[in-house]
Structure 1
Amino acid sequence: MTFLAIISCFVAKNNDERGPKVSSLGVYQAEPRHDFYQSPTDVTVSIYVKGYGASPARENVKVVYHTHSVDVSLPALDNAAAKSFTLGPLAGAIAPGDCSERVLGTKLTLKKDEPGVQWPTLLSSGSGQSVKLSSLPASSSPTPASSSSGYKGATPSAPSASKPARKNWDAVVDAELEEDDAANDPNAGGDAALQKLFSGIYANADEDTKRAMIKSFTESGGTTLSTDWSQIGKAAPTMASGSKSPAAGSSSPVANRNISLETMKTDSLTRQVLTDSPTHSHLLSVGSSRVLALSADKDHIYAGCQGRDNEITVFCRRDFQPEYRLLGHEGSVLCLLVVPEKEWLISGSSAGDVRIWSTRTFEPLYIIHPCDDTSGDIFSLAWDDREGGTLYFGAQNTSIEWVNFGKDIRGTRPVVAPTAVKGNISNLLNGQGHEHHGHPPPSAPTPSQRSGRYKPSPFFDTPSTPGSPGSCTPAGRCTPSRSISCGKGANTPAAAATTGGDYFKRGGDVVEFEVDADSTLFYAHYGYVYALQMIARADGTRWLASGSGDSDVKVWECLPGGGLKLVREFVGLSGAVFSLAYRDSLLYGGLQGGEIDVWDLETGSRIRTIEAHSSDVLSLAVLRGDVYSGAGDGRIFRIDDAFNCTAALKAHDSTALAMAIVPADRDGAYDLVTAGNDSYVKIWRVRAHPSRLARSPEEHRDLQLPELTELSDDDGDTMLYALSKLVAIPTVSDEQHREPCRQGAHLLNKILGQLGAKSCLLSGDQGKNPLVLATFSGHKPTCDKPRRRVLFYGHYDVQPVGEKGWSSDPWHLTGKDGYLYGRGVTDNKGPIMAIACAAAALRQRRELDVDLVMLIEGEEEAGSRGFASAVRRHRQMIGDVDVILLSNSTWIDEEDPCVVYGMRGVVYANLSIESQRDDVHSGVEGGAVHEPMFDMVNLLSKLSDTGGLKVPGFYNSVRPESAEERALLESVATASGRRLRDLERVWREPSFSIANIRTSGSTQNKTVIPRRVTADISLRLVPDQDMSAVVDALTTYCRDEFERLQSPNHLDVKITHAASWWLAALENPYFKALENAVEDVWKRRPLKIREGGTVPTMSWLEKEFGVPCVHLPLGQASDAGHLANERMRLLNLTNGKKVFERYLVRLAEI
């Protein structure tokens, strides 16, 4: 039995005053275990002492309060002597006269005096640092002593029913003993070896060592494990130095950290459905606003904001792009509710209004005003689906009000005038409330809140020119979204919108009314009604639970058509009730201060108090047998049906304000959506543990591990999972990254094999990265014609990342605002995974009727060194093909899908001029030597002038522009906003560039005459220039011009790389099939574009195999390939996969 006292402490005005020294008391030999938590008004301290809970001696427990300490005296028991101890000095001053205590069988609580004062610790040493509970020797002043609980003034980092959750090391040891075979695995290592080591230590440890392991693991969030209790018992362990943190200079929110020992194997693509911790999937930003409310359905995420516009931001769940901003609330959006059967989104605000929006058209439908103008904030919403549906909402004025949408307005629109009307709900249902009797008035609408307005948002849309699409850049600007407003002044005529791309549209007929007094329960509570929870009963009835700032929870029976009758009442809770959730017959209440109370509604009894968080529990969400709780410290805990904490994570920088849970895909996963006042919405993937799911026998029979081959049309999870693993390996094609490139090739080979391809590695040239060859074999054709074979060319090597400019880890796939960030995500790992998953999905559906051969090299960024020779060596393994497919560039803009039909060729040359002497000093030899720099400047000046390159015959074979080609360029210029002349220059005209000039001397020394000067130049080629002829003409011209200088120095011309131009035949059936596949998915004809750059292997492959090439760009112009913050829009990646699917299907029909 434990001893409990509750002491209400009030902070004194003079915080510098210290309490008197405590006189000597009887010695308490064994220090009592204790902990505490606090709210803005209370400090609750629990002191656990056996024997006093049920003993008559409890009446003689004495507690004496001082300004900075508390004396506790315990009387003698039959088997124990009297005990006395002092709690102090406290971290803050208290008012002794206002403190109180209770002695119970469970715990001891202290209450604060002055609201809003936050104590960093319970006890203080006078310097702001915590001191431990001290026993007082019989004749000495109190001295600090080590607490037996290791207490340091912090609440548990994870909840349990009665004490901080601990890692069950005994269970870990048992599991290890049951897995002897795995322990003998010669390949075991890494995390598995560490787990085995730690488990062995724990199994043979003494009690102090076990306590040290448990405490260090729990308080460090799973990053530190210590066995030294003498050290760990004195202070909390710090975060391990090797723990991952955000990249330097990152503007992203705090790193997400799961508090768990469980690890995933990094070399397997079979995901573990038994993992306990939610994994962070995507990050959404609402700019400078704060998200106060969340809701979600199968298609969208709704974020209710506090900010300049108090908007509701609507994100698409398919691509995480912002689609709409719903405007109209004049106060912060405090609560949101989705009603699927009505296709409604309901919102309540601090302006005291409730609005209903269509989730199909996102137009406003209803504006509801409470009965009393003094209702204040609307904090909570609930929906009863009977009798046409009844909406309940809780307000700041302690009332609960309701509106029934019965048979008279059963549809999504009421039968009233097309314009908004003002009146009460009774008049509206009776067809009254306006003088035109169902017909629109002849005059324009009054400036009430009654029409929708579409307007590009300044945050989501930054148009380059009036009326043009916005530009989405790596700096964080998002693509345009539509804004719908239902607010005062929203009925501005369309003609008024003339600048900034603004345009208005009538939002339909908006009905505005007030709630009747007889549909209002005044004074439902004595405090703000913060939370409502609808409860569907087995007998078909509905109960409504309400939680309030008066520390009470009430349960009401909902009458059909609206109305409340009190059923149960839970009063005198430890704090205000901020959140409610219902599971089975249990009602969960999130309380001020961090506790979660659980009631059995069938018996009306409180069955558990979960000491969960150290701050207010602001949100609760239920997923089958689990309850997720979010608190003011930004932490989210998962509590299972046995009231144990099974997962804990730091979700947000400060407060976790709102949560929602919605199904994610077909393999049993869910999305946990969270929001905090750090302006971010985060999405976490939750794979529920089978043992905790209330599955039917049929569900258990179908439950399988989600292998990579389990693909569907809409499933991008496998693709993203595999892509994240590829991005994590820095496959830079240089000597320093030779081993990561080898690992990347092996991983890609394994991924393609798991997707169903016959995959192998091909050796490159000596010292060069290997190639990956994979074949997805199609099904047997239904007719006599042979299967088509498609060769897809790509590369797994990437550019270096540099040291600056990245806002996230370039080697970690990061989702933010509908974009995926990471090196190689657009060039070229993303497209590789898109086509591989497309082929795997077709094979699973038995729709792959062509053979897809994937040839992926690892030297493309280094000039495809050794690629040609490797292909020729393995030509027989590759086989004959009908068409070559590439995906290695981007669109011309942000919004228009494209197909590439032409690329320029390139010639890279190095010019080197060298003297016979060493570097010399300009003050000693200047004027007496013929300087190589003068020769280089003269030679480069001979190569080019204002008319272009002066090499004879360079322009002679350039193909003239046809009328068809000009028409294509004009259409692209019109769609993209680019100048026609600029497109002609970069797409269809050759060019000459000087890349750099280097010298043999120090670049920082201004007095050195270098003996050698080199220049790197490049020529871009177009149809019908002959690459060999251009190389010969350039070499001859440079040498002839250098001879005319009559210089004693030596010129060397070296061609470092050359690739021919490529141009597709627009009437080719393979090109036509690609155009049609793009249109099938994007629902618009793609732009035909050319590229000013060069894919060196493209024209070579076309000539080597003797078949045409086609080129499909997936990303947007702002993808920033080769630059910092390389990215790809999630929508482009998922739609790219679908385009590949359609193309492979269409090829089989050729």
Structure 2
Amino acid sequence: MLFSSSGDCTVRVWDVDTLKCLYVIQVCDVGDLFSVVYCDELDTVYIGCQNTSILRFDLSTKENHQTHNLPYSCNYSKFFDNIPPTTNACEIISSVEEEEIDAKICAEQENVCRYEVHVCMIYMNSHDGYVYSLLLGENKDGRILLSGSGDGDVKVWSITKNSMELLKVLKGTDAGILTLAIQDELLFCGAQGGDIKIYDLETYHHIRSLMAHDDDVLALAAGDNCLFSGSADGTIKRWNKTFEILNTYKDHTGIILSLTLSPNKSLLISGANDQLIKFWDINLTDDNCQEAIIPETSDIMLYALKKWILLRTVSGKPKYLEECFRGAKFLKNVFIQLGAESELIPIATGQNPLVFGKFNGISDFKQQHKQLNILVYGHYDVIDADKTKWFTNPFEMTAKDGYLYGRGVTDNKGPMIAAICAVSELQQEKKLKANVSFLIEGEEENGSIGFDKTVEKFKNLIGEVDVILLSNSYWLDDVTPCLTYGLRGVILATIEISSEESDLHSGMQGGAVSQPLNDMIQVLAKLVSEDNYVLIPGFYNNVRPITSYEEQLYERILELNPSKSSETKEKLMSKWRYPSFTIHKIDVSGPNNVTIIPRKAEASVSMRIVPDQDIDDIVKSFKEFVKEIFSELRTKNNLRIEINNKADWWLGDPTNQYFKAAEQVIKQEWGVKPLYIREGGSIPAIKLLERKFDAVAIHLPMGQSTDQAHLNNERIRLKNLQAGKRIFKNLISKLSEIKKEN
């Protein structure tokens, strides 16, 4: 069937084979009918109206609503057909009478039934503007109806046979939404003025806006790998999956009113007000990473990793936000195709979503024993890469001399794919005796923004956790495997000193004004001594004393690690277990000119903290000390201190049963007992997860010291990646036995 709506307040239902009208659905007092969609599963028609309402009509009950009354279009309406002040009323009334006669003649000529939508089927005030567009879809909430309106909003409705309930409002701007299309759970909204707004239908986040056309976007058509948009400016544009324009078509001489794709997606069909319908031969055979990614015969781990590296999931840069969403959806598909349950978890602050996946342990084991609950943490976001400084394309995985090169192969996509494949193999072999969940975030390289609040909000979804596993660090060299049991925390801060003056010329004002940069140098100089001792009051008060067991671990590192022969125990401890203060850079306002007195100086600093320093106490002492130093300068300038981000320290217990199990598995794989190490860097999520779930974390470095994480030519040795998968697989089995014995 074909459904058509118009300004005559009717929806006509047509036989597509005979092109004869089967019956008419008519509505009273709603104005023009701008949009109509039919849900085959519910046998229901939805209609978007001029009076801001949405109508729902169940075709299976249409016989109960048969009418012989004339439709609204044959009756003059004071609201919709009101007479403009400058128009002759007699002319309007005469015109209305003529329309009534024409409508009666048409009704007599058409031997079709008419059915009327009753008031109970009308959802009044669904929007605050005309309902220009309706679209059916499905997502995690089930079957949904999407409505776009002149109020600039898109509304998401849950629909059933007998109801329609509002789920979500995707807030827009003043630009009305004129057309909608869906592709791979992305919603595209064509708007007045020429923009296309893009939303993710799983998280309901606005992820991008395209400045697509010079006039209203009136039509959209989504293929597997590209999007077509048609506009009142007379052009049709084709966009690829990263939303770059591939082609612009200008063969119509009028406004583009509609676009659609043929069933096999080989033809684009366009209609315009130049009275032409055109058929375009198109090619939609581009590779689409969102499709089935796992071939029947292949190394699944390498195949999936290669596809994942193609996606430039750089966090902290808005231009990559949409690609990060694609990377998250790709990972979700990997989980599902490898036998896990999976969904995206939206970050409350609008950043990249978390990806949650869960493999359930075998049911017969669960009935007899209390199963272990393991949570694997990682991240899919990466640091950006400059192609000109790599000898390979950083976003195409390349194999060379036993190594895999590409951004993310070691930090952290490679280890995560290895862990996922390890658990999947256990499940397929019916040997998975633990419940293994994955929580993989997309903002780790950007300070894990929103992670804390999101985990708290979705704690019930994540469920009970006994052990946390992660692999987000590296060996000390290229030979000896390691286990990481400690990380320093970090406080990132900005100190800003500014003047009420503008940028000045030093030749004219030098010596006559208080200079912000001079003040900044004096403040920074008093925070650290010449021998790098941090002068913030109380900074070292709570640092945990070293134990004899810890000293033995350092001695073994120096004894067995040849590359560290030049290191001393004191130097390693300075990097790993003692706090520090670092000045990273100073930025100034004004042009890059040596004669300028900048009106503002801004210093980026960080403090690395260790057990048992309290992060809030350190922040408080830091702020108070900087203010005290600044006040002693008696300057006319202004001071501002901002804490940009903070993450607590983490310290595991190398003597507990979980670390010992990991030690045994690693020794079994590599033939040597791993070194127990700490690191000077920070991973905000570890201690947070331990606290929230009252669980124990184990950190399993997979890569080597020369992996170049965050640097040019990032790599991981294939041997390490394959061994890492086996280690995860064997460790999960061994941890399950520990739980079984207890």
Q: TM-score, normalised by structure 1?
A: 0.39
Unpaired segments ≥5 residues, structure 2? 1-220, 229-283
Which of 326, 336, 340 matches 1:743?
Answer: 326
Counterpart in the other structure of 1:809: 393
Q: Is 1:720 matched with 2:302?
A: yes
Counterpart in the other structure of 1:752: 335
Q: Write out per-residue CA displacement over residues 214-254 of structure 1, whole angstroms, 9 at most, x where no aligned residue.
A: xxxxxxxxxxxxxxxxxxxxxxxxxxxxxxxxxxxxxxxxx
Q: Is 1:961 matched with 2:543?
A: no
Distance 1:1076 1:825 in 2: 26
Which of 1009, 1024, 1040 matches 2:612?
Answer: 1024
Q: Write out per-residue CA displacement over residues 583-606 of structure 1, whole angstroms, 9 at most, x where no aligned residue.
A: xxxxxxxxxxxxxxxxxxxxxxxx
Which piece of structure 1 moves more, 1097-1106 or 751-760? 1097-1106
**CA shift in 2, pair 1:916/1:776, >3 Å:** same
How far is 1:880 from its partner? 1.3
How far is 1:1045 from its partner? 1.1
**CA shift in 2, pair 1:782/1:870, >3 Å:** closer
Distance 2:638 2:224 in 1: 59
The residue type equivalent to 1:728 in the other structure is L
Which of 872, 890, 902 matches 2:474?
Answer: 890
Distance 1:925 1:1133 in 2: 61
Q: State the SS of the aligned residue for 2:635.
A: coil
Once the two structures are superposed, the pairs formed by residues 478-493 of structure 1 within 5 Å of their partners are none
**2:294/2:337 contact within 8 Å kept:** no
**CA shift in 2, pair 1:907/1:189, >3 Å:** closer
**2:361/2:427 contact within 8 Å kept:** yes
**2:379/2:413 contact within 8 Å kept:** yes
Q: State the SS of the aligned residue for 2:707.
A: coil
Distance 1:1030 1:985 in 2: 18
Counterpart in the other structure of 1:832: 416
Q: Write out per-residue CA displacement over residues 304-350 of structure 1, whole angstroms, 9 at most, x where no aligned residue.
A: xxxxxxxxxxxxxxxxxxxxxxxxxxxxxxxxxxxxxxxxxxxxxxx
Counterpart in the other structure of 1:873: 457
Counterpart in the other structure of 2:580: 991
Q: State the SS of the aligned residue for 1:944.
A: coil
Distance 1:1042 1:264 in 2: 59
Q: State the SS of the aligned residue for 1:804.
A: helix
How far is 1:922 from its partner? 0.7
Q: State the SS of the aligned residue for 1:865.
A: coil
Q: State the SS of the aligned residue for 2:733.
A: helix
Counterpart in the other structure of 1:631: none
How far is 1:1068 from its partner? 1.6
The residue type equivalent to 2:290 in the other structure is D
How far is 1:759 from its partner? 0.6
How much is the aligned-residue C-alpha RMSD, in angstroms?
A: 2.0
Counterpart in the other structure of 2:709: 1121
The residue type equivalent to 2:672 in the other structure is R
Q: Is 1:267 matched with 2:294?
A: no
Counterpart in the other structure of 2:555: 970
Distance 1:1133 1:1097 in 2: 23
Q: State the SS of the aligned residue for 2:523.
A: helix
Counterpart in the other structure of 1:1058: 646
Once the two structures are superposed, the pairs formed by residues 1018-1097 of structure 1 within 5 Å of their partners are 1018-1097=606-685
Once the two structures are superposed, the pairs formed by residues 349-368 of structure 1 within 5 Å of their partners are none
The residue type equivalent to 1:268 in the other structure is E
**CA shift in 2, pair 1:830/1:1042, >3 Å:** same
Counterpart in the other structure of 1:310: none
Once the two structures are superposed, the pairs formed by residues 660-679 of structure 1 within 5 Å of their partners are none
Q: Larger RCO: Structure 1 or Structure 2 (Cα < 8 Å, ≥ 6 residues apart)?
A: 2
Q: Is 1:1141 matched with 2:729?
A: yes
How far is 1:896 from its partner? 0.5
Distance 1:263 1:871 in 2: 37
Counterpart in the other structure of 2:571: 982
The residue type equivalent to 1:832 in the other structure is M
The residue type equivalent to 1:1029 in the other structure is D
Which of 783, 786, 792 matches 2:370?
Answer: 786
The residue type equivalent to 1:809 in the other structure is N
**1:269/1:722 contact within 8 Å kept:** no
Distance 1:762 1:191 in 2: 26
Distance 1:825 1:850 in 2: 27
Distance 2:303 2:693 in 1: 34
How far is 1:267 from its partner? 3.1
Once the two structures are superposed, the pairs formed by residues 396-475 of structure 1 within 5 Å of their partners are none
**CA shift in 2, pair 1:955/1:798, >3 Å:** same
**CA shift in 2, pair 1:998/1:794, >3 Å:** same
How far is 1:1103 from its partner? 1.4
Considering only CA atoms, is the larger Rg found in Structure 1 or Structure 2?
A: 1
Q: Is 1:769 matched with 2:358?
A: no
Q: Is 1:1000 matched with 2:584?
A: no
Q: State the SS of the aligned residue for 2:526.
A: helix
**CA shift in 2, pair 1:263/1:927, >3 Å:** closer
Distance 2:227 2:589 in 1: 53
Counterpart in the other structure of 2:238: none
Q: Write out per-residue CA displacement over residues 26-66 of structure 1, whole angstroms, 9 at most, x where no aligned residue.
A: xxxxxxxxxxxxxxxxxxxxxxxxxxxxxxxxxxxxxxxxx
Counterpart in the other structure of 1:952: 537
**CA shift in 2, pair 1:927/1:1107, >3 Å:** same
Give the paired residue count: 456
The residue type equivalent to 1:775 in the other structure is K
**2:348/2:450 contact within 8 Å kept:** yes
Distance 2:372 2:547 in 1: 33
How far is 1:725 from its partner? 0.6
Give the percent of matched residue pairs that are identical in Structure 1 and Structure 2.
42
Distance 1:860 1:1066 in 2: 25
**CA shift in 2, pair 1:739/1:806, >3 Å:** same
Q: Write out per-residue CA displacement over residues 671-699 of structure 1, whole angstroms, 9 at most, x where no aligned residue.
A: xxxxxxxxxxxxxxxxxxxxxxxxxxxxx
How far is 1:263 from its partner? 7.6
**1:886/1:1111 contact within 8 Å kept:** yes
**CA shift in 2, pair 1:926/1:752, >3 Å:** same
Distance 2:226 2:301 in 1: 26
Q: Write out per-residue CA displacement over residues 462-521 of structure 1, whole angstroms, 9 at most, x where no aligned residue.
A: xxxxxxxxxxxxxxxxxxxxxxxxxxxxxxxxxxxxxxxxxxxxxxxxxxxxxxxxxxxx
Distance 1:802 1:782 in 2: 49
How far is 1:783 from its partner? 6.9
How far is 1:1080 from its partner? 2.0
Once the two structures are superposed, the pairs formed by residues 558-957 of structure 1 within 5 Å of their partners are 705-706=296-297, 717-733=299-315, 734-780=317-363, 781=365, 784-947=368-531, 948-957=533-542
Q: State the SS of the aligned residue for 1:911.
A: strand
How far is 1:915 from its partner? 1.2
**2:328/2:355 contact within 8 Å kept:** yes
**CA shift in 2, pair 1:910/1:270, >3 Å:** closer
How far is 1:804 from its partner? 2.8
Q: State the SS of the aligned residue for 1:1115.
A: coil
Distance 2:226 2:543 in 1: 61
**CA shift in 2, pair 1:965/1:1057, >3 Å:** same
The residue type equivalent to 2:704 in the other structure is Q
**1:1080/1:1142 contact within 8 Å kept:** no
The residue type equivalent to 1:961 in the other structure is I
How far is 1:959 from its partner? 1.4
**2:391/2:713 contact within 8 Å kept:** yes
Unpaired segments ≥5 residues, structure 1? 1-185, 194-260, 273-704, 707-715
Q: Write out per-residue CA displacement over residues 510-560 of structure 1, whole angstroms, 9 at most, x where no aligned residue.
A: xxxxxxxxxxxxxxxxxxxxxxxxxxxxxxxxxxxxxxxxxxxxxxxxxxx
Q: State the SS of the aligned residue for 1:945.
A: coil
